[in-house]
Structure 1
Amino acid sequence: MDSIRYKELDVVRVLASWLRCVLHTLVPFMVYTSGMWPIHYHNGTNLLPDLSVLTIHSFIMEAFFIIAGIICVLELSRKGLRGYIKNRLRKIVLPFTIGILVLVPFIIFLFGLGSDLMSDSFHWQFRDWFYEAWINWSSRLVLLGHLWFLYYLLFYYLIVLGIIHFAPELIEKLKKIRITRWITVVPLLLLCFYYSPVWYIINPLTSKIEWPSFLYYLIWFIFGVYFSSHLQTFKWLAGKWIWTIATFMTISLLNASLQPYFLYPHPTYQVYIRYLVIVLSATQTISGLIMIYSLALKWRYMADTPWFKRQVQSAYWIYLAHAPIVMVMHLMMFSLGWPLVIKFIVILPLSVFLASQSYWKFGRWLLGK
């Protein structure tokens, strides 16, 4: 791959990482509470955080899996099979193992603190918090939290290794498929949406494989393998970035307007509304991916700046570290009587800064340069 392709990929990685940080910071401000967050503010009517979270969520994880598929091909071509396995052990298996043993138990521990803070009965009771964390840990399958991304990647990389061993020609054949052939995959994506309990693909929180999401993200990972040889095909999108944003936002608003009818079904029209929402959700995802790539093409010049290169280096680590950091910050600021918008403005940049600094102090050594 040439330098232009690297620049575009780097910009996508950084944009996706930043948007994920925005999503993490917004979750506690949502009207509809999330079971994967230890604390929620009393926001009874403002749906802007909900709309923002679901809009970002509609395409951001798909972008990460496409990037993972591209990187998979890059590592194989650069380092060979042995180097590829060694690199994936360092970049995926090691942080996943440490995260499961250290990070996830810490996040579970935070739920006890959050419960006390929200009930206005907070007092230091470490024994009770540890006990509650242990109950949550031991009564379920292995909890993954935001590390489910790495969990699925482990399986996808095993699939790639199996293909390399038994049918290595398949990867080259995949790269040569005409882009128009991918339209045949759309019904499969719609089927994954259909079997998801809500209008978007739910991320798994435990080690139990949820087949709609597993198959859904596998499709995007495979598309990343294909896309690694066709990044230049869509260079024309650089001049269409305004149109891609307008298209994505229009579809997102239309989809959001139907959610009340999806959540509170009308007995007569529910079937039609459900099918319409499924089609709109898939369309929203695809248009979001086109939008972020068009922005990457437009802003690829930023990849040459020293500051942006540092963002590229730390982007993956920030994805891993930001969630627990922003959780702690929300817990610390929950009792302050500040307006929610002020809390968001303070927490977002500070949590990203701390996550970035943790990379340069620790993560770079763990993951390798």
Structure 2
Amino acid sequence: MSHSTAAAPPSERLHALDALRGGALLLGIVLHAALSFVPASAQFWFVRDTHPSLLLGLVSFTIHVFRMTTFFLMAGFFARMSFHRRGTRDFVRDRLQRIGLPLVIGWPIIFTPVSLIVIWAAYLPNGGPIHGVRNWPPVLPNFPLTHLWFIYVLLELYVAMLLVRGAIVWLDASGNWRAVLDRLFAGIMRNPLAPLVLAIPIGIAFSLDQRWVNAMGVRTPDQSLITNAQAWIGFGTAFGVGWLLHRQADLLRLLERRRLPHLLLAVVLILISFVLSGVMLSAPGAPKLPFSFATLKLVCVVLYAPAIWISTFAVIGLALRFMSGFSPTWRYLADASYWLYLIHLPIVMALQVALSQLNWPGLIKFAIILGIAIPPMLASYHLLVRFTIIGAVLNGRRAPREAVPAAEVAGPVAP
């Protein structure tokens, strides 16, 4: 039974947000499983299935709009909670253990099979390395972080947060500046136009990127150790909003109350943006458009940047409304989501290659990929991770956690 945040205590809201954090990671598995079926996948994925699906293209596009912004907003929210609960030294130690160590150990373990699968796909008529992608063998600063880029960016944001917070505390000993910042942030969040205001920084970044198309969303730093400005702006803004939101957690009630307007507007903006993405991707080789590509891009920016924040607010509001209260199922999936996301990519990729040439409908093959991949991944979590040293590293504890309050939730505090 769900509870409204208007009547729920803070711990109830945290259950919802932690479930949303885990859901953002699990949606990443769905997203990657769908990419080989996206009609334009040859431009950004290593294999294109012989039976592309427009529906799966819409599914992947929709997930891509809000997933990582939602994740990094949750990251900032839970980072501040963890920081004030642990203190600086323990917070740094905890982040290095649960974020830094999985990156250092996990990257070679994940990248080796991923490379072999890409080589396998290269023997297919519709597979192989993505056009224009270099970095093999990896040469610094170019470095194929693959899907683990989010961990790398999280570490950067933690460092930036500690530096900025330290400077503010030093310069603002009285707390007056922080009080002004809180009032300014609350004023923005209470305004129905808040998503439009928050969309301005990333919208400017999109406009300045000559190669940007809305199908790529925020440009991710998955091929370099130097995080691009677009990722810093888009995900850094989300992280900062999450941090400030934790300072005034009652503002979450606004997102719950506005969930339906946000949801309806998000659906409209995403559908229009999806249609325009096809126009943008086909524009270079298409007959002359009745308007310039620059005009098309500007329209896409004006629609897509607000769609990011409106859809992010929509899913947060929906989570607060329908996922508050303790749920053993969501608690378990939230615990497992970090491990599942870390290991899923080579498994999903191998299944995509194996099925890519079969003369079956794309939706059927997509369902098979998820149906085959997820059960053994969940089993590996339960048998090899949940109560082992691996689980202690990733989740910070080695005992059953069903009865643990949401305020003690572990995981990649936040993807």
Q: Taking structure 1 as the reference length, what is the TM-score of the superposition?
A: 0.86
* CA apart distance, 1:66: 0.6
Q: Distance in 1 between matches of 2:218 and 2:26?
A: 21
What percent of counterpart residues are identical?
24
Q: Which residue is equivalent to 1:201?
A: 218
Partner of 2:300 in structure 1?
277
Q: Give the whole-Å Cα distance in 1 for the aligned partners of 2:233 and 2:123.
A: 38
Amino acid at match of 2:221: P
SS of the residue corresponding to residue 167 of structure 1 reads helix
The structure 1 segments of at least 4 consecutive aligned residues displaced by more than 6 Å after TM superposition are none
Change over 3 Å in CA distance of 1:135–1:246 after alignment to 2: closer
Assess, with a 3 A threshold, how the Cα gap between structure 1 residues 244 and 113 changes in structure 2: closer, same or farther: same
Rounded to whole Å, the distance in 2 between the matches of 1:357 and 1:137 is: 34
Larger CA deviation: 235-244 vs 26-35: 235-244
Q: Deviations over 1:228-278 (max 9, x none)?
A: 133332425445544433221111111222234433163734333221110
| Counterpart position of 1:57 | 64
Match of 2:205 in 1: 192
- Select the residue among 73, 78, 83 that pairs with 1:71: 78
Spell out, residue by residue over 1:76-102, the C-alpha distance to the aligned partner (whole angstroms, 9 max, x if none). Answer: 111111110111011110011112222
Partner of 1:42: 50
Q: Is residue 117–residue 334 contact of structure 1 (8 Å, CA) maintained in 2?
A: no
Aligned position for 1:231: 249
The equivalent of 1:125 in structure 2 is: none
Opposite residue 257 of structure 1, the aligned amino acid is V
Aligned partners of 1:309, 1:13: CA distance in 2, in Å?
Answer: 11
Using the TM superposition, give the Cα deviation of residue 35 of structure 1 relative to its aligned residue in structure 2, in angstroms: 5.8
Describe the SS at the equivalent of 2:366: helix
Q: Contact 1:14–1:312 (CA<8 Å) still a contact in 2? A: yes
Moved more, 100-109 or 265-274: 265-274
Equivalence for 2:186 = 179
In the other structure, the counterpart of 2:25 is 17
Shift of 1:75: 1.0
Quote the Cα distance in structure 1 between the aligned partners of 2:295 and 2:358: 45
Alignment of 1:47-126 (within 5 A): 47-118=54-125
CA distance in 1, matches of 2:301, 2:43: 23
Letter aligned with residue 161 of structure 2: V
For the pair 1:215 / 2:233, whether they are aligned, the reply is yes
Aligned to 2:402: none
Q: CA separation of 1:357/1:35 partners in 2, compared to 1, >3 Å: closer, same or farther?
A: farther
Trace 1:296-335 onto structure 2 (pairs within 5 A).
296-301=319-324, 303-335=325-357
- Give the counterpart letter for 2:226 in structure 1: K
Partner of 1:123: none
Relative to 1, partners in 2 of residues 1:365 and 1:329: Cα closer, same or farther, differing over 3 Å? Answer: farther
Contact 2:13–2:320 (CA under 8 A) maintained in structure 1: no
Tell me which amino acid in the other structure corresponds to 2:24.
A
- Within a 5 Å distance, the mapping from 1:222-261 to structure 2 comes to 222-235=240-253, 237-238=255-256, 241-261=259-279
Retained in 1: the 8 A contact 2:58–2:274?
yes
1:353 aligns with 2:375: yes
Query: Where does residue 167 of structure 1 map in the other structure?
Result: 168
Q: Which moved more, 1:169-178 or 1:266-275?
A: 169-178
Which segments of 5 or more consecutive residues in structure 2 lack a partner in the other structure? Answer: 1-8, 398-415
* Whole-angstrom distance in 2 between the partners of 1:109 and 1:80: 43
Give the TM-score normalised by structure 2.
Answer: 0.77
Superposed CA deviations along residues 86-124 of structure 1, whole A, max 9, x for unmatched, are 11011110011112222123212210011124469xxxx
Higher relative contact order (CA 8 A, sep 6+): 2
Are residues 172 and 8 of structure 1, via their aligned partners in 2, closer, same or farther at CA, if it must alter by over 3 Å? Answer: farther
**Match of 2:409?**
none
Greater shift, 11-20 or 93-102, is seen at 11-20
Rounded Cα–Cα distance in structure 2 between residues aligned with 1:75 and 1:201:
27
The 10-residue stretch of structure 1 (203-212 or 183-192) with the greater mean CA deviation from structure 2: 183-192
How large is the RMSD of aligned CA atoms in angstroms?
2.8
**Using the alignment, how far apart are the partners of 1:218 and 1:325 within structure 2?**
30
Q: Distance in 2 between matches of 1:153 and 1:143?
A: 17
